[in-house]
């Protein structure tokens, strides 16, 4: 297990992300897309949630565009304050109008009636700050994804949606401490590898 605190890991990884130049960002995102696009987890999904990269995050845009070209339904996360700081998801395509939320992250500008419950998604591509080979994830610290998908911790058989972390391979650390509220991912895709969770977290 790494001896660094979560905040220390966050600072180190965010600094490493910011050090990447534009060409590296594009090349690495394309490598990631090539690794995921032919995987059954992606091919079998009809409703796919994605995110728009900020602050040097691994950019899933090539995968997002590929999903749209395949005729999949694509969604982006939306902050809904009256839902106890959980995420709901709004439909997205290339014509969707976007507006910044309170963190400055762009979200689809759609009516509340068009938002969908995360339980109906098939696959969720999730950003992260760091991860380990057991598919544990360290996020930004807000807990939005853990609160939103906490219901998965109580399911023994029917696991939907599948959760796929998206990152650069240099964001991997030896081991992350797990908290009771953490929701482990099904897999993590990077620019050089695909890590699958082979056993339930304990």
Instruction: Check residue 202 and give its pLDDT.
Output: 39
Distance, CA of 88 to CA of 99 (rounded, Å):
16
Instruction: Assign 10 to helix, strand or coil.
Output: helix
Kindly give the confidence (pLDDT) of every residue in the chain, 202 residues in length, as a single tens digit, with 9 standing for 90 and above.
Answer: 457 889 999 999 999 999 999 999 999 999 999 999 999 999 999 999 999 999 999 999 999 999 999 999 999 999 876 556 789 999 999 999 999 998 899 999 999 899 999 999 999 999 999 999 999 999 987 889 999 998 888 766 667 899 999 999 999 999 998 877 788 899 999 999 999 987 544 3
Instruction: Name, in order, each residue with C-beta under 8 angstroms of 24's C-beta and a sequence gap of 6 or more.
Output: none
| pLDDT reported for residue 142 | 83
Instruction: Map out the domains of the chain with their CATH numbers.
Output: 6-196 (3.40.50.10420)
Least Cα distance to 135 among 77, 72, 84, 198 occurs for 198
Q: Which of 17, 5, 1, 3 is nearest to 128 (CA)?
A: 17
Rg (C-alpha) for the chain, rounded Å, is 16
Residues contacting residue 46 through CB under 8 Å, at least 6 positions apart: 72, 73, 122
pLDDT at 85: 76
**Token pair belonging to 28:** 């690495």
Angle formed at CA 48 by CA 57 and CA 132, multiple of 5 degrees: 45
The model's pTM is: 0.91
Distance CA(133)–CA(173), nearest Å, equals: 8
């Amino acid at each position: 297990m790494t001896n660094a605190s979560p905040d220390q890991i966050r600072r180190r990884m965010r600094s490493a992300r910011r050090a990447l130049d534009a060409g590296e960002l594009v090349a690495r995102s394309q490598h990631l897309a090539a690794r995921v696009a032919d995987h059954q987890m992606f091919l079998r999904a009809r409703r796919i949630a994605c995110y728009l990269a900020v602050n040097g995050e691994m950019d899933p845009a090539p995968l997002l565009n590929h999903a749209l070209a395949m005729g999949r339904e694509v969604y982006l996360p939306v902050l809904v304050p009256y839902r106890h700081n959980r995420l709901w998801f709004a439909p997205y395509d290339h014509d969707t109008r976007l507006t910044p939320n309170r963190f400055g992250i762009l979200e689809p500008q759609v009516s509340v009636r068009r938002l969908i419950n995360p339980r109906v998604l098939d696959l969720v591509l999730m950003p992260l700050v760091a991860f380990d080979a057991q598919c544990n994830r360290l996020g930004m610290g807000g807990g939005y994804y853990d609160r939103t998908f906490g219901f998965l911790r109580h399911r023994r058989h029917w696991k939907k949606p599948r959760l796929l972390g998206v990152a650069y391979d240099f964001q991997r650390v030896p081991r992350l401490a797990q908290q009771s509220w953490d929701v482990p991912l099904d897999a993590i895709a990077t620019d050089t590898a695909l890590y699958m969770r082979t056993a339930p977290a304990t």
